[in-house]
Structure formats: structure tokens, C-alpha cells
Amino acid sequence: MSGNNHQYAFFLGCIAPNRYPGIEAAAIQTSKNVGIDLLPLKGASCCPAPGAFGSIDLNVWYAMAARNVVLAEQMKMDIALVCNGCYKSIWEVNHKLKHNDELRDGVNEVLKEIDMEFKGTVDVWHLAELYYDPKVVGVKKIADSVRRPLTGAKVAVHYGCHLMKPGKERHFGDTENPMWMEELVAALGAEPVQYRNKMQCCGAGGGVRGYDLTHALDITNEKLINLQEVGADALTEVCPFCQLQYDRGQVEIKDKFGIEWGLPVLHYNELLGLAQGMSPDELALDLHAVDVEPFLKKIL
Amino acid sequence: MAVKKDYKDQKLAEKLRDRKYYIPDSNPEFIKDVEKIGQTAAHMCYQCGTCTGSCPSAPRSSYRIRLFMRKAILGLEEEALTDPDLWLCTTCYSCTDRCPRDLAPTDAIMAMRNLAFKRDIVPRNFLQTVQLIYKSGHGVPNNDANRAARKKLGLEEEPETTHKYPEYLPGIRKIIDHYKLKENADRILAEGE
């Protein structure tokens, strides 16, 4: 642990550690390279999934997300995470409980049963926003950390929904055509490409992936059509659940609709890892359902 | 002197004068419940349709979020809560970002789903997630192939979550049990067998 690094409690969630562990490994390593230490948040659970849990009982969602926040409060450390779904649960519940006394009292009554109390003493951040924030990392420092520029690769950005929306509750500004992630992509030497309906959902959220897979995939497929039109070599996102939907979803789309896209999908931390010189093996890119090789050939 | 427009059938006239609740099975409390749970002033909706126009689910299904907003206002609880389309919202919040009335239609949908669950109306996949989290703390738990991959990466086989520290599970189960969520999930799933 270096002396002047920023330190955060690393909230893992489910899909990064349990399906794409390369994201977890990349997040820890790439963050260290730009001055952020991610420390284990011991005993954290599922955020819990905002679509699944929030849809059936918001009170349980508040209480379980609050428990995860309290673990960080006990460490006296802000939380950093790598998933938009987790951000929705952890950031939003933290925010709501800080500003709504009635809600906080209700949650604390339940937390009391397990000797915990939500105090509202920490903040929650997505790693992507910390990378963009010049007070923490900033685009320049990201660019300076690059050892192997992704020159010649056209990379499209999928922002996902739950990081920036609903915009009036968040702090990211424009949610119709944001460009800050494109700046983060350009910092790696790749060419960020624009495409139609960039802010459209991946289709998986709100429990729809589990409820009606064909419906969810049809939304995903529309996005893949738009990405194909601009000749993207890869899609990058900051949400392992979106990644799952685009990556495994392409296999399911081939199965159900008979359409084969073959578009590599990489979490920004995986992309950053490649640019900082990590090998595909160190990122477990072989776990991706869609072969990442064509993209690697372009950049290596 | 102008003739007051009315219907001969006095009962019908009365019903139509009350322009909000003229369907016999409408429940005026429904909109209040939706507003309380969803924390949004849903009755302010003026049916412009920006929500449906922004909705990724609308072009590929009969799901119309504007319709659900209207049903909430009219107190058509039964119709809204038993409509399978209720579960097609991906919660992308595009409608919420664009609503000219500054409402959160997404959160109104979430509220209606919460109310549906209270009546045991809920798709199975939502309940299965509850069971998974109750068991392991994770909605998407670890497995052997992933453990092997983690080891290859130099990570521990179990992440620093409830997977590595199962001693945290009783606390999580206490929270879920406080709301009888697991009990209800098990029961509803068993009844559906």
C-alpha cells in the first residue's frame, strides 16, 4: 500500500467476482496504477439486485443495501464499486437514507436486530467516476498510465442506466448524450465511436432478463445493430450485468434469432488493464462468451 | 336559462359526475399507495406519452407505461396489478429523465410491483433470486469453474464477501426474515408447482 494513494472499500457485487473475475483483478491492479488502493469490504453481500429485490419489497432492498454501507462505515472508508446495478443500490440507498429521516429510522430499527446502525458517514463512488474526476485520478493520469495504447481500435461506449439515471437525483449532468466516458476511452489511445441511441438500456434490468429473455435480447439486438452500423471493434461498459447481457446475450441471440454478431464486450477496467500492459490471461478474457481475439489482434 | 346536462338515470349521473372513480371496482386508495411507495406525485401525470415514447420495452410489446400511470390515477388496481406487462419495465429510467412533470414513472411501476407482490402476484425469477441471496448472500453465486478461474488469476477462490465470510449470513437472513420475504417466496413458489 503506497502512502499517498486514495483508499476505498471495494464493494464487489455478484457478477464481477462470480462470473467475470477478470474485472475484479483488473480493477484492483489498474486502480493501483493510478493511485487508488481498493481494500476488501469483508462480508458484503449482493447489493441486493435493484430490479429483483426492489420490485418485490423496497424495504428489504433499503435494509440490505444499508447493511453493506454500514460495513464500510465501520472501516471509516468510502465505497468504490465497478457495477451500475450495485451503484443504484448502494449509492442510492446511502443517499436516500442520508436525506430521509423517516426512511433511515425504519431501516435502523431492522439493523438494530443485528447490532448495526446506519450513520451516514461515508460516500459511494463508481470507479469510472473516480477515474474521470481530476481531484482523484483524472483523464490525464489515466493516459499517463498507458503502456500499450489501443491505437487503431474503434471502441463504442455503453453507459448503462443506473449510474447516471435518474439524472435529477444524480450528479453526472447530461444523460442524453454524455461524452465523459469517450474521453476515458480516448485516453487509452482508442478511437471512441458514436452510434445511434447510445443511451438505450441493455435490456436485462428490472428482472426482465429472468422474466422474458427473448424480450430482453430483442432490446440488446437493436443496440448491436446500431453498433455494427458504425463498425465498432468492441463495446465497453462499466456494468458487469450489462456485460453479461451483451456477451452471453450474443450467444443467446444466435440461438434464438439466428443472428451472429461477434462483437467483443469489455468492461472499462479490462480495457484499461490491456492498455496498461496486462495480458489477456491476467484478465481472464477467455471467460468471455464472445471471442475477444479479433479485438486483441487489432491492438497487440 | 341553460339546461343542465345530465343523465336520466340518477345513479349513472352521479357516477359520471365523479370523473375520477366511475368504474365500480376502482380503488381511490390505489394512487395514494403508489405515491407513498414510489415517492413520486403520480397523480400529476397529464398523459403526454413522453414516457412510452422513451421506453425500450414499448416498441416490442404491449407494455405502455403511460397506461399504467393512468390506471393508477383511475384507481384501476386490479387491472394494473394483474397485467403481465407490469414486469416488462427494465427500470432504465429514460421516462423518468424525460418526464415534463418531473415525475418518476419508473418508481411508480416499482411501487405497483411491490403492491402486486403483496397479493402474491410476482414472476418466479424474482422469488428465485430471493432464495439464492438467502442461501449464499449472492444473487449470482460462485461456482467451481469460476473458482478455478479466480485461482488462475491469483485471486482467492472465494471473494471477500459472504462467500469467504459465511458468518455474516445469519445477519442477512435476519433482515430478510424480518420482512418474511423468504417465507413468502418459498410459499408462492411451492403453490405454483
A198 and A293, same domain (yes or no): yes
CA distance B125 to chain A (A): 6
Tell me if A21 and B106 make a contact (CB, 8 A cut-off): no
Predicted pLDDT at B193: 77
Min Cα–Cα distance to chain A from B39, Å: 11
Looking at the fold, whether A193 and A268 belong to one and the same domain comes out as yes
CA distance B81 to chain A (A): 12
ipTM score assigned to the predicted complex: 0.96
In this prediction, residues B77-88 reach a mean pLDDT of: 97
Q: Which CATH number fits the domain that encloses residue A170?
A: 3.40.50.11810
Closest CA to A48 of B134, B18, B67, B39: B134
In which residue ranges of chain A is pLDDT below 70? 1-3
Q: What is the average per-residue pLDDT within B6-21?
A: 76
CATH for A17: 1.20.1050.140
Whether residue A283 sits in one domain with residue A171 = yes
State the pLDDT confidence band at B16, using cuts at 50, 70 and 90.
confident
Cα gap A16→A84, rounded to integer Å: 11
Cross-chain Cβ contact A43/B161 below 8 Å? yes
* The CA-based dihedral angle spanning residues A240, A243, A245, A248, taken in that order and rounded to the nearest 10 degrees: -110
Give the SS3 label for residue A193: strand
Decide if A140 is inside a domain: no
Same domain? For A288 and A156 the reply is: yes
pLDDT value at position A1?
47
Residue B93 near residue A166 (C-beta atoms within 8 A)? yes
A156 and A259 in a single domain? The answer is yes
Neighbouring residues of A241: CB distance < 8 A, sequence distance ≥ 6: A15, A83, A84, A85, A202, A204, A205
Q: How many CB pairs under 8 A join A and B?
A: 212
A290 and A151 in one domain?
yes
Residue A138 lies inside a defined structural domain of this protein = no
Q: Which residues pair with A234 in a beta bridge?
A: A155
Q: Which residues in chain A have their CB less than 8 angstroms from residue B113's CB?
A: 55-56
Confidence of residue B2 (pLDDT cuts 50, 70, 90): low
Show residues of chain A in contact with B142, CB under 8 Å: 17-18
Q: Which of residues 158-177 of A touch B (CB under 8 A)?
A: 161-162, 165-168, 175-176
| Strand ranges inside chain A, DSSP E | 6-11, 36-40, 79-81, 124-126, 154-158, 191-193, 234-237, 265-267
Residue A141 within any structural domain of the chain: no
Confidence at B3, pLDDT banded by 50, 70, 90: low
Whether pTM > 0.90 for this model: the answer is yes
Q: What is the set of domains in chain B, with CATH numbers? A: 23-119 (1.10.1060.10), 124-191 (no CATH)
Domains contained in chain A, number: 2
Burial of B178 (0-12, 13-18, 19+ CB in 10 A): middle
A284 touches B: beta carbon within 8 Å: yes
Which residue is it, cell 476515458? A184
Chain centroid, CA A232 distance in Å: 20
Q: A207, B123: Cβ pair inside 8 Å? A: yes
Joined grid coordinates for residue B41: 406525485
Let me know whether A248 and A282 are in one domain.
yes
Residue B65 has pLDDT above 60, yes or no: yes
A279 and A151 within one domain: yes
Nearest CA among B109, B93, B110 for reference residue B50: B93
| CB-CB neighbors (< 8 A) of B162 in chain A | 43-45
Q: Is residue A192 part of a domain?
A: yes
CA-to-CA distance for A163 and A170, rounded, in angstroms? Answer: 8
* One domain for residues A122 and A169: no
Contact across the interface for A21 and B126, Cβ inside 8 Å: no
What per-residue string of b and e applies to A64-80 under the rule 16 or more CB within 10 Å gives b?
Answer: bbbbbbbbbbbbebbbb
Cα separation of the two ends of chain A: 30
Residues of chain B positioned with their CB less than 8 A from the CB of A114: 170-171, 174-175
**Closest residue on chain A to B112 (Cα):** A55
Provide the residue range defining the domain that includes A231. Answer: 147-297
Instruction: Assess whether A100 and A42 both reside in one domain.
Output: yes
Q: Establish if A190 touches chain B: CB-CB under 8 angstroms.
A: no
Cell digits of residue A23: 474485472
Strand, helix or coil for residue A210: helix
- Taking the Cβ of residue A70 and every Cβ of chain B, the question of whether any pair is shorter than 8 Å is answered with no
Higher pLDDT, A63 or B8: A63
Q: Residue A133: what pLDDT? A: 98
Instruction: Tell me, yes or no, whether A235 and A288 share the same domain.
Output: yes
**Residue A88 within a domain:** yes
- Distance from the Cα of A264 to chain B's closest Cα (Å) equals 20
Judge if A116 and A157 occupy the same domain: no
